[in-house]
Amino acid sequence: MTSRATLPSRGLADQLTGLFWRRPGLLLLLLITPPLLWLGVVYLGSLAALLLQSFYSIDEFSGVVKEEFTLKTYGELFRAQNLDIILRTVLMAATVTLACAVLAFPIAYFAARYARGPWKAAFYLGVMLPLWSSYLVKVYAWKLILAKEGIVTWAAEGTGTGFLIDGLLSIPGLEGASLSTSPFGTFLVFVYIWLPYMILPMQAALERVPNSMLEASADLGATQSQTFWTVILPLALPGVIAGSIFTFSLTLGDYIIPQIVGDSARFIGLAVYQLQGTAGNTPLAAAFAVVPILIMLVYLTLAKRAGAFDAL
C-alpha cells in the first residue's frame, strides 16, 4: 500500500479549517465582529445618545426637552447644589474605595498566599456568597441592622458602648439620628456591597506575585513592611487599581443605597435617576452622567502616570 503525503478532506469542517489556516485573519474577523458590533452600536451608540442629550435643555414648566444645541445644561452642573452633589459623590467614592482597599488586602493576601484546598473554596464561597443574594435585600437588611432600634444600637447599648455611636454621629458631616440615617451608614453599606469587587482582582494580582519575589526581598535584608511597600504593593497595584475602578465607579453611579440608607442628600446616581426618571430632565441627567465618565478618565490618567500599569 502506498501512503499519500496528504490526507483526503473529510468534508466541510476540514475545508473550513484549511481556509482559516490559509487566512488566519478571517477567523479573527468572524470571531470579533459580533462583539465589536455589540460594543459599537449598543454601548458606544447609547453613550453618544447620552452625550447628545446633555447638549439639549429642558422647558422648565412643561418638562419637554428642547432639541437645540446649548451648553446651558452643563452650566447648571455648576450651580451650588449640583456641585455639592458631585463633590459629595466623589468624596464618598474615594473613601469607600480606600476603605475597601484596606479591608480587602489582608483577605486577598490570605487567600492568595496561604489558603489551599478547602480553605480556598471557603474563601471563594465567602466572598461570592453575598453577590448571589439580591442587592436590594442586602441594602434593606443593612437599613434594619443600622436602624435606631436595630441590632447595632441594641448591641452597643447592651455593652455600654453606645457613646461610641453617639460620638460618631456627632462628628460634623456624619450627623444623623442613627447609623441608618447618617452618611456614615451610607459609607458602611457601600463598603459592604462593593468589597467583593475589590477582593477578587486583588487576590488575582497577588496570586501572580511569585513567592520567590518575597523571599528575594527578605533575602536582601528587607523587613516585612519594606517588602510590602516596595515589592508586594507595586506588583499588586494593577489588581488594586482594577478593584478601585470597580468600587469607585460603582459608588459613583449607585442610586439605590443613598435612597435607603443615609440622610437623603443626593448622590450623582440618585440625581441621574430622579432627574431622568422622576423629573423628566433628561438633559441634566445626561450631563450628570457625563461627570463620572470624566472623573474616571482623570483617575485612569493619574493612575497610569503613577505607574500603576507598569507591572502589567
Give the binding site for other proteins (CB under 8 A): 59-65, 76, 79-82, 84-85, 88, 143-144, 147-150, 176-178, 180-182, 210, 212-213, 215-223, 226, 230-231, 234-235, 259-260, 262-266, 271, 274, 276-280, 307, 310-311
Residue keyed to cell 428642547: 66
Q: How far apart are CA 45 and CA 231, in angstroms?
A: 42
Nearest-CA neighbor of 248 among 196, 299, 203? 299
Q: Which is nearer to other proteins, 271 or 290 (CB)?
A: 271
3-state secondary structure of 78: coil
Residues 6+ apart with CB under 8 A from 167: none
Find out whether 218 and 127 touch, Cβ atoms under 8 Å. no
**Shortest distance, position 9 Cβ to other proteins, whole Å:** 41
**Shortest distance, position 212 Cβ to other proteins, whole Å:** 4
Q: Which is nearer to other proteins, 162 or 280 (CB)?
A: 280
Q: Which is nearer to other proteins, 123 or 288 (CB)?
A: 288
Q: How far apart are CA 36 and CA 54, in angstroms?
A: 26
CA distances from 74 to 38, 79, 214, 287, 289 (A): 29, 10, 50, 6, 11
Q: Which is nearer to other proteins, 81 or 159 (CB)?
A: 81
**Shortest distance, position 13 Cβ to other proteins, whole Å:** 40
**Shortest distance, position 56 Cβ to other proteins, whole Å:** 13
Q: Which is nearer to other proteins, 15 or 223 (CB)?
A: 223
**Shortest distance, position 280 Cβ to other proteins, whole Å:** 3
**Shortest distance, position 217 Cβ to other proteins, whole Å:** 7
Residue keyed to cell 443600622: 146
**Shortest distance, position 264 Cβ to other proteins, whole Å:** 4
Q: How far apart are CA 32 and CA 153, in angstroms?
A: 54
Q: What are phi and psi of 58, to 5 degrees?
A: -120, 145
CA distances from 266 to 25, 175, 186, 275, 288 (A): 50, 16, 12, 11, 12
**Shortest distance, position 177 Cβ to other proteins, whole Å:** 3
Q: Which is nearer to other proteins, 196 or 262 (CB)?
A: 262
The type of residue at 257 is I
Count of other CB atoms within 10 angstroms of residue 307: 10
Q: Residue 39 carries which DSSP code?
A: I
CA gyration radius, the chain = 26
Q: Which is nearer to other proteins, 96 or 284 (CB)?
A: 284
Q: Which is nearer to other proteins, 147 or 295 (CB)?
A: 147
